[in-house]
Structure 1
Amino acid sequence: MKDVKFAITDIETTGSGIKGNKITEICVMVVQNGEVIDKYSSLVNPSQSIPLYIESLTGINDEMVGDAPQFSEIAGDVEKITEDCVFVAHNVNFDYNIIRSEFAAIGKEFKRKRLCTVRLTKNLIPGLFSYSLGNICTSINIPHYDRHRAGGDTEATVNLFQRCLSLDPEYEVITKLLNQRTAASYLPPNFKRSDFEKLPQSTGVYFFKDKDGIPLYIGKAKNIKSRIKSHFQERSNRKYKLMQATYSIDYELTGNELLALLRESELILKYYPKFNKAQKKPGRPYTLTSYHNQKGIEQFALHKNKIAPVTWMKFYTRDEAIKFLEFLCEEFKLCPKYCALQSGVKYCDHYKITPCSGACKNEIDAEEYNIRVSKAIEYLEKFEDSCLLVEKGRTAKEKSFIYLNQGRYAGYGFIDNSQEFNHSEEFKNFLIPQKNSSYTDRILSRYLNTKKELIKIPLDTSREAGTKSTESFFGGLIQ
């Protein structure tokens, strides 16, 4: 291992992200057996303007790189000096991925083993306040001249690497880091591998947090560990910036996707995390109403902008509304023409619902048809009832519930299967109250309108349940 060559590299670029970022300067110093044996450096013409804020940071401007070679002209030199070397950089994924992108742009592949001096230093010199290159150098008295220039930063990284070698003379830590074959090799520079290994492979919500514990990003996942791993491997500018700012990841298990969606929405509204895209407020919903037409038939109508005296249900997409109305029409033997599924036709001619009830052809009278509509409305009214939606719990020994108070989201909770009830209202002892919003309305609307197998417990405060376990309580009241 001591004969291995390490190509310690630093680049300056036109921006702070990864995609679309072009190199303006590169420096590579090859270290073997602790000594520098080769060096290469060059300014690079990025073929695009250097932003003013980058110029003020690095001192590199358009005039300086105007006569410099383009990357395609120095690619052979970079390839040669890093050949048979371990690619080393401070926050290695940034430098490595941009260099790979530059090679890819000219139709070449660049593939090297890589080692991050941030991770190396964290293993060998734990407990520092900050692991940025400048702060490490200040903390352990390493000279760092010409900061934010490729040559100065590479030289400081070489000195840091040499200090790490003195603390790891048998290359034990270096070997361990080089042999990682898990998502840990993609971990954010400030995030511990041991914390990643502790993440669950369960359903819930997760939080990327900054050094002060403030949420930067909140998401939901069926498999939290797998989803977070995919974040680490994503190479967008936004995701790169998120990874740089992340110091810890927390999570909250929900046991099921419905509750994960609700909690994600609630928590985003609570914290407004910097890296979450603003939740797009659901547009005005489609409203299902009914009225008596000139024939005396009670007819369903779907409106988006009109105010109606009678409102039965709301839908946040037209597709959801149409699918539900098709179900209603078939289930209660109604006419598509009178269920907002067809317009401008004398008789029903629906591609899916055949034959219709016959009301449109006067084959049944209005009174008989309206009896069927009344049964459909009784079914619709159940959506506005107070009830519990029962879903999987966080373990096999519990269930979760979502509480709807008169059809509106009011909270959630978890109940152990062995818990006994004397009355259905005792679920409130386990309730975690929550506020309803247009976002939770939409989530629940979609769930209620599309879920084929729905476990829904009506709550009738006048009905005594007797002493029952959670299992029998849930089983006995499911409709």
Structure 2
Amino acid sequence: MKDVKFAITDIETTGGGIKGNKITEICIMVIQNGEVIDEYTSLVNPSQEIPLYIESLTGINDTMVANAPAFSEIASEIEAITQDCIFVAHNVNFDYNIIKAEFEEIGLSFKRKRLCTVRLTKKLIPGLFSYSLGNICTSINIPHLDRHRAKGDTEATVELFKRCLSLDPEFEVIAELLNQRTAASYLPPNFKKSDFEKLPNSTGVYFFRDKEGIPLYIGKAKNIKSRIKSHFQEKSNRKYKLMQATYSIDYELTGSEILALLRESELILKHYPKFNKAQKKISRPYTLTSYHNQKGIEQFALHKNKIAPVSWMRFYTRDEAINFLELLCKKFDLCPKYCGLQAGVKHCDHYKITSCSGACKNEIEPEEYNERVAKAVDYVSQFDASCLLVEKGRHQKEKSFIYLNKGKYSGYGFIDQSQEFNEAEDFRNYLVPQKNSSYTERILSSYLNTKKDLVRIPIDGSQAEDQHSNLDNWMIA
């Protein structure tokens, strides 16, 4: 790599992350064999106003760039000076992606190998308090004049790069950084590759944390490592700012996706991370009720805003509610009309359910029909019973459980497959209590109403139809 050329680059911009951020000044200095062999510096007209806070930071204002060339006018010079060079910058992804976006905007491509002096310095000069350009220069006595101007920052980066070259004469560290083919090439500047490699390919929740360890963002994933890699590769302004603020990432394994969803919701409500979008306010749910109509028939109905004397279940989408009513109708041979699936019709004529009990045509006595409804109500009642919902554990020899106390989310836990219970209540020794919320209710409502292979363990002596009904079954499920 002795004769390789490095294009040390710095840009000033209008601010605002990656997307929509326009260049106001650019400086490129080409180094070969430790010496500067070429240089290009220019103000750039961004064709938009420069925000006051950016003007205060850089000193570049609208008047200064009014007669400067547009990027399209200098693109060929940037292309030429960086040709056959390795593109180098302090926090390289920022400068590179904005320059690349400027080229794309005028219909051209820009592709160079990249090298980040933040990562390079961390490898060659470990243990510094901060790796911002200004703080590194102060720490190792590099002159840094005219800060936050493209030429001043480029000159400082050139001196820093020369210092790194002296510490890596065989280009071993540089070659390692250039040859990375993993997500490490997209890592946040303050995040270690070794920490990324330790991330699991398992289900759970993960935390992006700042320098003090405070959660910046909390998410859930079936595959934590893969999902975090996708965060690194996103180019939105919001994700860019998150990456710049991230110093560490950790995780919590859950085994099952439903438990990951619940934990994500709980942890967001607990920490209110800066980069999580506010959880949407849950709208009033659909409530399943029943009442005696004028014929003496017990009839199901859905209400969203009314208070009913009898309330059986709640649904957070109409589709979930309709699907459940269709299930009741088929399972207990009920009338679609009297299940709230049809209105304004004399007799059942449902598009999906072809069978009918005949109650709407007076072919069955109300008493007999109501006995079927009573069985349906018993079935519905299990959803408000105390039980354990059993799911996968964090490894093959483990099961996870979600505890519903009278139908309300009350916690979770993990139990080894070989663990034996003498009493059903023994599960409490493994329980991690949690608070119920409208968000966890919605998550569990969707889960209970859509999961076909649900394993439900009654813990109050009740028996749920078509479900495992004791702890022994759980341990071998």
Alpha-carbon separation, structure 2, partners of 1:448 and 1:293? 29
Q: How does 1:418-457 map to 2 (within 5 A)?
A: 418-457=418-457
Indicate the residue corresponding to 1:245 in structure 2.
245
Indicate the residue corresponding to 1:354 in structure 2.
354
Indicate the residue corresponding to 1:263 in structure 2.
263
Matched, 1:311 2:307: no
Alpha-carbon separation, structure 1, partners of 2:320 and 2:50? 49
Q: For residue 296 of structure 1, report the CA deviation from its aligned partner.
A: 0.5
TM-score by length of 1: 0.97
Indicate the residue corresponding to 1:467 in structure 2.
none
Alpha-carbon separation, structure 2, partners of 1:304 and 1:24? 55
Indicate the residue corresponding to 1:22 in structure 2.
22
Indicate the residue corresponding to 1:459 in structure 2.
459
Alpha-carbon separation, structure 2, partners of 1:478 and 1:308? 42
Report SS of the residue matched to 1:41: strand
Query: What number of residue pairs does the alignment pair up?
Result: 473
Alpha-carbon separation, structure 1, partners of 2:270 and 2:470? 36
Matched, 1:230 2:220: no
Alpha-carbon separation, structure 2, partners of 1:343 and 1:66? 68
Q: For residue 363 of structure 1, report the CA deviation from its aligned partner.
A: 1.0
Q: How does 1:321-360 map to 2 (within 5 A)?
A: 321-360=321-360
Alpha-carbon separation, structure 1, partners of 2:475 and 2:374? 24
Q: For residue 49 of structure 1, report the CA deviation from its aligned partner.
A: 0.7
Report SS of the residue matched to 1:252: strand
Q: For residue 478 of structure 1, report the CA deviation from its aligned partner.
A: 9.8
Contact 2:190 2:244 in 1 (8 A): yes
Alpha-carbon separation, structure 1, partners of 2:231 and 2:384? 39
Indicate the residue corresponding to 2:203 in structure 1.
203
Q: For residue 282 of structure 1, report the CA deviation from its aligned partner.
A: 1.1
Q: For residue 16 of structure 1, report the CA deviation from its aligned partner.
A: 3.5
- Distance change in 2, residues 1:33/1:472 (3 Å): farther
Indicate the residue corresponding to 1:87 in structure 2.
87
Q: For residue 473 of structure 1, report the CA deviation from its aligned partner.
A: 2.4
TM-score by length of 2: 0.97
Q: How does 1:410-425 map to 2 (within 5 A)?
A: 410-425=410-425
Alpha-carbon separation, structure 2, partners of 1:143 and 1:201? 45
Contact 1:457 1:477 in 2 (8 A): no
Partner deviation per Cα, 1:311-362 (whole Å, 9 max, x = no partner): 0000001111111111111111111111111111111111000121111111
Indicate the residue corresponding to 2:170 in structure 1.
170
Matched, 1:282 2:306: no
Contact 2:417 2:475 in 1 (8 A): no
Report SS of the residue matched to 1:420: coil
Matched, 1:302 2:302: yes
Q: Out of 417-426 and 67-76, give the one that drifted further.
A: 417-426
Contact 1:455 1:478 in 2 (8 A): no
Alpha-carbon separation, structure 1, partners of 2:360 and 2:391? 42
Report SS of the residue matched to 1:432: strand
Contact 1:333 1:356 in 2 (8 A): yes
Q: For residue 421 of structure 1, report the CA deviation from its aligned partner.
A: 1.1
Indicate the residue corresponding to 2:466 in structure 1.
none
Contact 1:390 1:401 in 2 (8 A): yes
Indicate the residue corresponding to 2:161 in structure 1.
161
Indicate the residue corresponding to 2:471 in structure 1.
473
Indicate the residue corresponding to 1:35 in structure 2.
35
Partner deviation per Cα, 1:208-254 (whole Å, 9 max, x = no partner): 00000000000000000000000000000000000000000010000
Amino acid in structure 1 at the alignment position of 2:271: Y
Q: Out of 413-422 and 224-233, give the one that drifted further.
A: 413-422
Alpha-carbon separation, structure 1, partners of 2:366 and 2:16? 70
Contact 1:421 1:473 in 2 (8 A): yes
Q: For residue 10 of structure 1, report the CA deviation from its aligned partner.
A: 0.4
Q: For residue 29 of structure 1, report the CA deviation from its aligned partner.
A: 0.2
Indicate the residue corresponding to 2:96 in structure 1.
96
Alpha-carbon separation, structure 2, partners of 1:59 and 1:460? 71
Q: For residue 420 of structure 1, report the CA deviation from its aligned partner.
A: 1.4
- Distance change in 2, residues 1:462/1:108 (3 Å): closer
Matched, 1:179 2:191: no
Report SS of the residue matched to 1:129: coil
Alpha-carbon separation, structure 2, partners of 1:90 and 1:226? 26
Amino acid in structure 1 at the alignment position of 2:85: C
Q: How does 1:54-203 map to 2 (within 5 A)?
A: 54-203=54-203
Where structure 2 has 5 or more consecutive residues not aligned to the other structure, the ranges are 464-468
Q: Out of 365-374 and 233-242, give the one that drifted further.
A: 365-374
Alpha-carbon separation, structure 2, partners of 1:80 and 1:196? 36
Amino acid in structure 2 at the alignment position of 1:475: N
Deviating above 3 A after TM superposition, structure 1's stretches of 4 or more consecutive aligned residues are 476-479
Q: For residue 460 of structure 1, report the CA deviation from its aligned partner.
A: 2.5
Indicate the residue corresponding to 1:51 in structure 2.
51
Amino acid in structure 2 at the alignment position of 1:220: K
Report SS of the residue matched to 1:422: coil
Report SS of the residue matched to 1:289: strand
Alpha-carbon separation, structure 2, partners of 1:356 and 1:319? 21
Q: For residue 461 of structure 1, report the CA deviation from its aligned partner.
A: 5.8
